[in-house]
């Protein structure tokens, strides 16, 4: 009869210790991974909350600007608030915003607060005391955690006046194919009365080539309305006369504007292109029913 040998526990303790060490190591690694993921998720949520806070700051500042009016609803420059404004989204959250306001007489480069700081109208008290701004650049920073850098939104707001429509303007190109492309142009961004309209090589950045077609059926040079005035419009006295710049007239008193030019700009059809080749040099535009209608296309 064979006797069974009693087994011992030789080697069990080192194995147990090894497994314990491996388990602890894996737990630590898992904890570090989870912590990194939680931190990333928390940061993403905070960035989104900060953006929401900054957007709320923009809306709050616009609400204050839009209340700058009298009893008739007309805007009042001296009621425009200076800022800056700081606020909290709600009592149950740590989201806050700070909004800087820059009042400008010219359109600023998109989001360029340095340019706005150097060209802003003075506004140091509660309300604007001098100047007539045409644009407002708003810079709003939203934060979620105190001491942590937030996120900033910059926005440009165009002020509307009764004498100045909110139209950016665009290029009016010569009908047909030309190389280089030719566009209607003024001698400068502020042409005097009686200055002739010319055709120049298209330049989207030139204020002398940006025109607006307003509700009064005027074709106005957009840059001449930057000061809030009615601006300079295109006029022609008679058939084949040069097209000149004259102060814009209301629709009820169409002085200086010939019906030839008006009908040419309003017609929806196109006449065949002229066989005459447009010279590359400057040429003076004339009002003529035999010319193809002008294409009013804003530069993209």
The CATH number of 182-284 is which of 3.90.320, 2.60.40, 2.80.10, 3.30.1490? 2.80.10
| pLDDT confidence of residue 183 | 93
Domain ranges for the chain, please list them: 67-158, 182-284
Q: pLDDT per residue over 73-111, tens digit each?
A: 778 888 999 989 999 888 777 889 999 999 998 888 888
Contact 224, 210 (CB under 8 A): no
Question: Which phi and psi angles does 222 have, rounded to 5°?
Answer: -60, -35
Q: Which residue has the tokens 């419009």?
A: 233
128 near 82, Cβ under 8 Å?
Answer: yes
- What's the CA gap between 81 and 287, in Å, rounded? 47
87 forms bridges with which residues in the sheet? 97
Average pLDDT over residues 268-296: 40
Measuring CA to CA, which residue among 69, 87, 138, 132 is closest to residue 108? Answer: 138
* Nearest to 141, CA basis, from 192, 187, 90, 97: 97
The string of pLDDT tens digits covering residues 152-207 is: 999 999 887 655 555 667 899 988 777 889 999 999 989 999 999 999 999 988 88
pLDDT at 80: 93
Q: What is the DSSP letter of 127?
A: B
Strand locations in 24-170, DSSP E? 85-88, 96-104, 135-143, 151-158
pLDDT at 82: 92
Across 51-60, 102-111, 249-258, 264-273, least confident range: 264-273
255 φ, ψ (degrees, to nearest 5)? -70, 145
φ, ψ (nearest 5 deg) of residue 264: -65, -35
**Token pair listed for 59:** 């809306």
């Amino acid at each position: 009869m064979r006797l069974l040998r009693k087994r011992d526990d030789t080697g069990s303790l080192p194995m147990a210790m090894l497994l314990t060490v491996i388990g602890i190591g894996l737990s630590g690694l898992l904890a570090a991974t989870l912590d990194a993921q939680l931190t990333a998720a928390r940061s993403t949520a905070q960035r989104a909350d900060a953006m929401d806070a900054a957007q709320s700051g923009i809306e709050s500042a616009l609400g204050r600007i839009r209340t700058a009016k009298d009893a008739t609803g007309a805007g009042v420059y001296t009621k425009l608030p200076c800022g800056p404004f700081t606020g909290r989204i709600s009592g149950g959250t740590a989201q806050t915003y700070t909004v800087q306001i820059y009042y400008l007489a010219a359109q600023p480069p998109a989001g360029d607060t340095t340019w706005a700081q150097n060209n802003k109208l003075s506004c140091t008290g509660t309300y604007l005391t001098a100047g007539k701004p045409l644009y407002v650049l708003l810079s709003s920073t939203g934060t979620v955690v105190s001491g942590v850098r937030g996120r900033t939104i910059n926005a440009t707001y165009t002020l509307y006046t009764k004498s100045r429509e909110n139209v950016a303007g665009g290029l009016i190109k010569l009908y047909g194919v030309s190389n280089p492309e030719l566009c209607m142009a003024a001698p400068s961004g502020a042409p005097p009365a009686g200055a002739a309209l010319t055709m120049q090589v298209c330049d989207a950045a030139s204020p002398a080539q940006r025109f607006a077609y307003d509700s009064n059926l005027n074709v106005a040079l957009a840059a001449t309305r930057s000061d809030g005035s009615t601006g300079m419009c295109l006029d022609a006295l008679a058939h084949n006369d040069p097209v000149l710049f004259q102060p814009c007239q209301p629709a009820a008193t169409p002085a200086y504007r010939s019906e030839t030019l008006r009908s040419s700009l309003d017609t929806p059809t196109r006449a065949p292109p002229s066989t005459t080749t447009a010279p590359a040099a400057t040429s003076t535009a004339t009002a003529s029913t035999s010319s193809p209608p002008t294409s009013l296309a804003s530069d993209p």
